Structure 1
Amino acid sequence: MSLQVTGNHEVSPCDDVLAELADRVQGRRLCVLTGAGISTDSGIPDYRDESGAWKRPQPMTHQTYMASEWSRRRYWARSLVGYRLLAGAVPGTAHRDLAELERRGHLAGIITQNVDRLHQKAGTRQVIDLHGRADLVRCMQCNLLLKRNALHEHLATLNPDWVGMEAEVAPDGDADLEEVDFSSFRLAECPRCSSGILKPDVVFFGDNVSRPRLDRAMGMLARADALLVIGSSLMVFSGYRFARHAARQAMPIFCFNRGRTRADELFTFKHDRIDVGLATLLAVMPPSD
């Protein structure tokens, strides 16, 4: 059994394992839930190892960001270095494969825990950014939305000595600047109210997904016949809740992810290769009439 993947290469999966997936998935409309593992091929680091443990210190929480000016200085100084990779990332094969499955009519849509917008760049139309968008910044007082690139240009003008710094890039536009004094870093003011805290329009750890966004995501899942989890350990409840809900509805749950997840006991089928799993779907799910 040889399956053509989007691109110029082939994978030769195990017949028995993927024949089982092919048999289970045919005729089903999928809701896809994606996590950081789908974007690592685009050069964006992920948070957890194959056991589901943190690879690095836990990211800044919403409460810390809002309460501490020093923490905000640290965040934006590191972001001036790390966000360049996130902003310049391009969709990988998996993003393009999912866009093709949507074009063929087999997806109810994608719920992504990522903030990189790579699904949209790949051409997928029905995407819910569960944890928000890293390319936008919101004033927490007057609710003004700004383009993050424009804010970074302003921050670079305010802090020219920080622009040329080099550091190892971390997940979601962060960078590892250690043993650095952030006290001199100048923060930008909101251009409308001048007093509000500017924060990336993403759900930080310790914050909650908004009810309207959660309701839209649950509605997307309700329009599907099965849930497909790709590249997520589901250790964070905001993603795990969809697997738990699908299981309660007796909905099949497929997973393409390397290593342990929080929902392993709920899966109908699991494979550790995203590329091979998506190649199987493309092979057995032709364009709808």
Structure 2
Amino acid sequence: MSREVEITALEAVAHWFSEAKRAVILTGPELTFEAGIPDAGELHFNPDINSFREDDSVKEKYWEKIAEIYPKISAAEPTAAHKAIYELSILGELDCVITQAVDALLIKAGCENVLQIYSSIHWAQCLNCGKDYRMMETLTEMSRYGRKIPSCAVCRTGILKPPLSFPGQPLPHWEVREAWIKIQNCDFLICAGASLENEPVASFPVQARGGGAKTVVISAAKGSADDYVDAVLYGGPAVVLPALVEEVKRVSSV
């Protein structure tokens, strides 16, 4: 794609955003990777839920991985992409941000109305009674007492896991339902660094465009959705989104 076409596409997207009354931004694993941390929400990272429930060796291996990566996730800072989304929320009518990421970096950047449809890695939840625990506190307790598998201090019998959807588990019902409502009612959708290969997210741009919304993909690589959205801006979200912020400011001042 030529530089001239790229600039024209960026300007068009900036105009669409400036004119939108119910804009939605969908983000995904590219933003997580740009922050230099692993995506703990990816299905290949997590074991089958039945194996996790029944096999202590599976639980031990999983919690060993969490203990290794969580300090990196907890210490991670928002990238230029996260900060740009926060700026867009100030510049325009951004209804919400839907994210596949489980790292909460959008919230750390100051974004409000964030729907974490894969939930959050920052909590552990009892599979028996539903009691929630902060992840760092859980890992600290495990280290202090030499435990390989954390258990619930309330019901005493429950095993803890992050509230992420493991293979064999549905996605969080409320968050997915709210995301569908936002997608159906939006008039502009940006898919920034999102994984659009699996449902329900794969249908989001189709549903939005079918309802009359302008749809845009921002990604470092070509994807299956590129052929049926209104515009594609190729490049890493940490590069493209700040450029979009500047273009929105420019077109808004004209």
Same fold, judged at TM 0.5 (above): yes
Answering whether residue 229 of structure 2 is matched by residue 267 of structure 1, we say yes
User: What does residue 37 of structure 2 align with?
Assistant: 44
Larger helix share, 1 or 2: 2
Distance 2:163 2:7 in 1: 39
User: What does residue 77 of structure 2 align with?
Assistant: 90
User: What is the number of equivalent residue pairs in this alignment?
Assistant: 245
Alignment of 1:142-153 (within 5 A): 142-153=129-140
Q: Residue 209 of structure 1 aligns to a residue in which SS?
A: coil
Calculate the aligned-residue CA RMSD, in Å: 2.5
Q: Residue 103 of structure 1 aligns to a residue in which SS?
A: helix
Distance 1:83 1:68 in 2: 22
User: What does residue 17 of structure 1 align with?
Assistant: 6
Answering whether residue 248 of structure 2 is matched by residue 282 of structure 1, we say no
Give the CA deviation at 1:33.
Answer: 0.7
The TM-score normalised by the length of structure 1 is 0.77
- Residues 80-119 of structure 1: per-residue CA shift (max 9 Å, x gap): 1121111111100000000011022331111000000000
Alignment of 1:96-115 (within 5 A): 96-115=83-102
Q: Residue 216 of structure 2 aligns to a residue in which SS?
A: strand
User: What does residue 181 of structure 1 align with?
Assistant: none
Q: Residue 229 of structure 1 aligns to a residue in which SS?
A: strand
In structure 2, what residue type is equivalent to 1:247? Answer: R
The TM-score normalised by the length of structure 2 is 0.86
Preserved CA contact (<8 Å) 1:31 1:107: yes
State the 4+ residue runs in structure 1 displaced beyond 3 angstroms.
56-59, 286-289
Give the CA deviation at 1:197.
Answer: 1.9
User: What does residue 25 of structure 2 align with?
Assistant: 32
Change (3 A) 1:22 1:106: farther
User: What does residue 241 of structure 1 align with?
Assistant: 203
Distance 1:99 1:219 in 2: 22
Q: Which runs of 5+ in 1 are unaligned?
A: 1-12, 48-53, 160-184
Change (3 A) 1:74 1:206: same
Q: Which runs of 5+ in 2 are unaligned?
A: none
Preserved CA contact (<8 Å) 2:142 2:150: yes
Identity, % of aligned pairs? 22
Preserved CA contact (<8 Å) 1:60 1:204: yes
- Residues 179-199 of structure 1: per-residue CA shift (max 9 Å, x gap): xxxxxx631220000111211
Give the CA deviation at 1:25.
Answer: 4.2
Give the CA deviation at 1:58.
Answer: 5.6
User: What does residue 10 of structure 1 align with?
Assistant: none
